[in-house]
A and B are shown apart, each in its own frame.
Chain A
């Protein structure tokens, strides 16, 4: 079994990223689209696999607050889930390229399978033989024995697997309940069919390619005996294939756009389909004229899950790219001839769903403010919110206001280098810290960043990345160990701030969500260096600049010197420098006599004096004394090449 993640493929050097998610402790609502749903008829539970990386368990009997539990171990979209062993075991496939085995009743993760090298897109379950097939963008299909997976422990983690390679990325998979026939749909635009012998050690045998679709095949259903196959494609058609004749028996054009979800009843007489056109149709397979528009969703449909009633399926859960899951009735829809072929004028049978599992909002847009600490976001409901990266918390929910206006309003003329990246793929703020730039942001004061540090930290330079890492790993025992051993620095720097304890820390590359017990092996060396050994390389970026007299002031020009200073130095300091080094000379030259007592006094409130007497300009703009040089360079100088500052005497 391979543990290589996608990120490391093709890259010579292992790049390890530390990420964390800013979220609530309990995320009760789906944050983003729902890729897959499974219904447990015994416990009347619904499992939903979201793009927010969380699998949630819902109680379908209560409508008010159906949320039961979250299963949060994936770190990317969960693309598919299957419920096996009468609802005891669940398998999930994710874009983090893992398959996880869950105890569905408890909601705990039992094992993680990492054979896939790319996103795992789909799973298929053969009920009779308890076999699950998985496939994804790595073009490979794996077959798993569920019983074997269920027996996995931390000591026994060997699994027998059989695999097949396809030619292109696989987007859909189906297996018939006895597990004899396996079908896969791919961007090859064909359906690949394999025969699977339970006893066959050679693995699945490729028996045919069903060609006819003109685009990606996104959904597949096989009938029980594996003689017929239904396929839904991005070309907008549903095709019925006879596997015996190896040909397409019928083509159904019920959708106006790509077909993404298919389900059929057990007798294989009716097909339920949904797709990009947001409609769910029930079509009679023998007589395609008998088709019914069951409902119309507000977003493209990703998955359908039929719920069995007393005799036949009587309702259906529909998952869309929106976070809300709805249940639609299937009663009274049979055999209604829709003679019209014009989809526009057909009214759906139901306009109101049976029940709804409400979803939450997902963040769609973000803007990192100039202080490189606050982030403004806008979500699917157009709510604008302000977050603080350092404390990993929501600061303020601003409601439905203009995103652009807020950005403008919060503009601060300050320049701090980038030190993290933001990711929204799971609908929540994910912050990635990368070795290459995490320590690049030094600030002279974090008071402005909404954090009140202890008074002795008032004027210290602070590295944002370092402090954040320390806060994130606050509970990592190693970060305390050092202090205990070294008596000299027993009272090491206190934490300036802390992050919520529930904040998930992800260490990419190993593709594992780290639990704080086993951090030792997982924490990348660059972070461990800072955390355990407090070795913070004090590399300060220098900025070169010229200090010249403002052309208009009537003093003789000093020779043009190229000066160099930390880029965080404030304009005030430069003014002091000007006052002390450049002007004072002139003054002293003027008055030959200088008293030493005056000297000392002057030195004390020199900055005050300096500020009164001198001002600094850049590009003819008077500089604020609190601005630092990098900000001046970024916002006022605005060019490459050395910064040029001018000083000017103020006449009282």
Chain B
């Protein structure tokens, strides 16, 4: 039935268009206005979002039902056979986790651009500066983001703009199309293209842009510290380590990753500083040191913000703040990230604060788990600390380093122990008291200096925090550092801190910080013996903060959302039939190509013949994973048998992506004439949910999070690849599922209006189907889908927040 449908034009369907649409005046105006808005909006970033939130609320209040007008879901204008693009864009828009990821990436870009501008300004070497726009894939990200923003705005202003004309809700993806064509000239011209190919291209460009951005950032970062620090070997090493670590840690829950990263980084930094000779290290590690300091500072930082209380109450306060960190942990990171993406002069401290909080959560947890798990070790570690302190107070800088190495090792062990325990919340809770004690040290540090330093508005605590270890510096860096201007008071303070110190980590990081801060300072103001000038100091703090921010972002947000969403792993296993040894190879995949017509295989021809007429998708999937035999002339050379033997090659899904893309191989070159790509219009019944595909799971896998739910379909109507019409069906997430995830999300209007319903996105036209009628269409009962299903999109049956985005 479907076959017939696909070939005969449906009553509603538009036939493939070869000419550009005649544009009505009012529409194009609308579009222009929208574009300008977004262009500005993109620059302004955050303010816009906040306004939007208000708008949403306003919208909620005066919700109305206008039946005559087109649905409140933005559509995309056909720019001359660009339905292949439109269908893909719509699907991506409704892909869970895609828009937040894109926004993150976009803001990263904005931030890096700013940094670069700043960098160039500092250098006064304008020739070097080239806008990020020159990178096409980054350009694509920006355009894509603006387009979605545009669509969002269109939806928000639905009641003003929408009329019965379908064009009233249509957005023109002209810019995006241009950049895509620039990136891949294949998409030029007004011929129809393969939507699947476009999807692959777009996703790979996005991935490229993530990679490029990361590299640019790295470059910028290398340039920045270059001004203050002669070389940056350690940073590089650290970065590579981070990258490696990240890849290693991938299966782990993301929430724990930063902690581990931080700690590794800490210890790494410590190690590097130890292994190298004293003086150059000082300079080299300056950048890192700032980071260290910053991290350290943040613990007290948050406390300062929340509680400026007398010391008597401290214990309880600390518990509170600990709980806070927990809360912060539970929260999604985007918010704090948003904050940290604004390293502007004015919002500087704000960004820092936000960032601080995030950092705070990280360091907080690590400390907590440390002190929780490291209890037994505490004795010895503390012993170490004491010896260190003794040495620190003494004169020999080198000895002090040896001592430190021990404690760092101890810290490392602690951290490992923490990792083993998975940083579970229970441990957090159990150890609050202990960590509270641990926090005393740092608190003491900062509070102590709070009193010393005059307040300087918002940046106050930053300065203070910085100054604290800086002053304390005098204690540690007796021999190597150049700063002679250390006041006496903090000396006492630090000693006190060390005495109180319960957590080995704390003391170590304190020492680290102190030791390393000295070169920072001397680097920033080498001429000044005593950095009394508050302003200069502030400046320095700001720039260094920038750097810190940067490096933090670098490791924490090497945005990988495309990979996180779409990348799966499969295992290719080859088993020798002679010795039965297996060789396994793991490969990445982005989508699964499903053959529509299954070649009759010897094994499957017995019982399944009857059902063959209705080839279920599930069966197709299993056909894809069937065992391939290497035999006859295609024998396998077995390393054990040292001979050519028969072998069985099988595919297994090892890691499944969050978004599973199934590509039905409907176009075959084999049948038909030379160069002619024919389409297989066979009916494939599409299940709304897919069973578990992981090979390790027992065959009826009961875990709900291994199941997949259908959320979008791209269909194709027409006979050949180069003609016909694409459209997409997307599932609007229901309110309560999405509502939890993030404070602000991108599909607010459709979600509010059509929760759980399906939208048929046919270029400018969007039609709403409720779930039952869509199901009916899917099964071909009442009417049918327009076109034949071509690309199917499933998402994991778990909330998006649990995905690694």
Q: How large is the interface on B (under 10, 10 to 19, 20 to 34, 35 or more residues)?
A: 10 to 19
Q: For the complex, what is the distance from the CA of A276 to the CA of B575, rounded to whole Å?
A: 14
Decide if A216 touches B641 in the complex (CB within 8 Å): no
A425-B580 in contact (CB<8A): no
CB proximity of A406 to chain B, nearest CB, Å = 20
A427's nearest neighbour on chain B, judged by CB, is B642
Contacts of A194 in B (CB 8 A): none
Contact between chains at A77 and B579 (CB < 8 Å): no
State A294–B644 Cα separation when bound (angstroms): 33
Contact of A169 among B580, B631, B641 (CB under 8 A): B631
A171 interfacial contact with B, CB 8 Å: yes
Per-residue interface assignment for chain A, residues 159 to 178, with 1 indicating a CB less than 8 Å from any chain B CB and 0 otherwise: 00000000111010000000
Contact mask for chain A residues 1-31; partner B; CB cutoff 8 A; 1 contact, 0 none = 0000010011000000000000000000000
**Are A425 and B643 in contact, CB atoms less than 8 angstroms apart?**
yes
Residues of A close to B632: CB separation below 8 A:
9-10, 118, 137
Residue-wise, chain B 378-400 has the 8 Å CB interface mask toward A (1 for contact) of: 00000000000000000000000
Instruction: Encode contact with A along B598-612: 1 for CB under 8 Å, 0 otherwise.
Output: 000011000000000
Chain B proximity of A50: nearest CB distance (Å): 13
- Is A577 an interface residue when CB atoms closer than 8 A count as contact? no
B642 touches A95 (CB 8 A): no
Interface string of B248-270 (1 = CB under 8 A from A): 00000000000000000000000
Return the contact of A425 from the options B577, B602, B633, B641 (Cβ within 8 A): B641
Residues from chain A with a CB closer than 8 A to the CB of B646 are 137, 169, 187
CB neighbours (8 Å) of B579 from chain A are 300, 321
**B642-655 Cβ-contact flags toward A at 8 Å (1 or 0):** 11101010000000
A258 at the interface (CB under 8 A from B): yes
Report the Cα distance A167→B631, complex, angstroms.
13
Considering the chains assembled together, what is the distance between the CA atoms of A169 and B603 in angstroms? 13
B629 at the interface (CB under 8 A from A): yes
Distance of B632 from chain A, by nearest CB (Å): 7
Contact of B577 among A95, A169, A188, A257 (CB under 8 A): A169
Is the pair A424, B577 in contact by a Cβ cutoff of 8 Å?
no
Shortest CB-to-CB span from A11 to chain B, Å, is: 8
Q: Which of A343-376 contact B (CB under 8 A)?
A: 364
Give A572 Cβ to nearest chain B Cβ, in Å.
43
In residues 236-258 of chain A, which contact B (Cβ within 8 Å)? 257-258
A216 (CB) vs chain B CBs: closest residue: B577
A159-218 CB contacts (< 8 Å) to partner B: 167-169, 171, 187-188, 216
A209 to chain B, nearest CB (A): 9
A171/B577 in contact, CB under 8 A? yes
B residues in contact with A137, CB < 8 Å:
631-632, 646
B773 to chain A, nearest CB (A): 44
Partner of B602, one of A77, A167, A171, A216: A167
* A:270-307 near B, CB below 8 Å: 276, 300
Whether A329 is near chain B, meaning CB under 8 Å from some CB there, is no
**A residues near B643, Cβ cutoff 8 Å:** 51, 76-77, 95, 425
A167-B602, A300-B579 as given contacts; A187 in contact with B642, CB under 8 Å = no
The winner among A169, A300, A424 for most chain B CB atoms within 10 A is A169
In the bound complex, what is the Cα–Cα distance between A168 and B629 (angstroms)? Answer: 10
A-facing residues in B610-637 (Cβ within 8 Å): 629, 631-633
A-facing mask of B577-591, CB < 8 A → 1, else 0?
A: 101100000000000
Q: How far is the CB of B85 from chain A (nearest CB, A)?
A: 42
- Shortest distance from the beta carbon of A530 to any chain B beta carbon, whole Å: 29
- Give the nearest-CB partner of B632 in chain A: A118
Q: How far is it, in angstroms, between the C-alpha of A167 and the C-alpha of B603 when the chains are bound? A: 9
Shortest distance from the beta carbon of A360 to any chain B beta carbon, whole Å: 16
Among B579, B603, B643, B644, the most chain A Cβ lie within 10 Å of the Cβ of B643
Knowing A300-B579, A321-B579 are in contact, say whether A188-B631 is a contact too (CB < 8 A): no
Residue of B631, B633, B644 near A10 (CB, 8 A) is B633
* B646 smallest CB distance to A (angstroms): 6
- Of B602, B631, B633, B642, which is in contact with the most chain A CB atoms at under 10 Å from its CB? B642
A187 CA to B603 CA in the complex, in Å? 10
Instruction: Report the bound CA distance from A10 to B634 in whole Å.
Output: 11
A188 and B603 contact, CB distance less than 8 A: yes
Tell yes or no: A234 within 8 A of B by CB.
yes
A168: nearest residue on chain B (CB-CB)? B602
- B633 near A9: Cβ-Cβ < 8 Å: yes
Q: Which residues of A contact B633 (CB under 8 A)?
A: 6, 9-10
Given the complex of chains A and B, what is the CA–CA distance between A187 and B643 in angstroms? 19
The CA of A276 and the CA of B633, in the complex, are separated in Å by 27
A527 to nearest B CB, angstroms? 24
A118 to B631 alpha-carbon distance, docked (Å): 10
Is the CB–CB distance between B603 and A234 below 8 Å?
no
CB distance from A256 to the nearest CB of B (A): 13
A120 to chain B, nearest CB (A): 13
Residue in B580, B642, B644, B648 whose CB lies within 8 Å of A276: B580
Rounded to whole angstroms, the CA-CA distance of A234 and B578 in the bound complex is 10
| Docked pose: A167 CA to B632 CA in angstroms | 13
Q: Are A187 and B629 in contact (CB under 8 A)?
A: yes
Q: Are A234 and B642 in contact (CB under 8 A)?
A: no
Residues of B within 8 A of A (CB): 577, 579-580, 602-603, 629, 631-633, 641-644, 646, 648
Given A137-B631, A187-B629, A425-B643, 6 new contacts (CB under 8 A): A10-B632, A76-B643, A137-B646, A187-B648, A188-B602, A216-B577
CB<8 Å pairs between A and B, sample of 9: A6-B633, A9-B632, A76-B643, A95-B643, A169-B577, A187-B577, A258-B580, A364-B642, A425-B644
9 smallest beta-carbon distances between A and B, as pairs: A425-B643, A424-B642, A10-B633, A425-B642, A167-B602, A258-B580, A169-B646, A9-B633, A234-B580
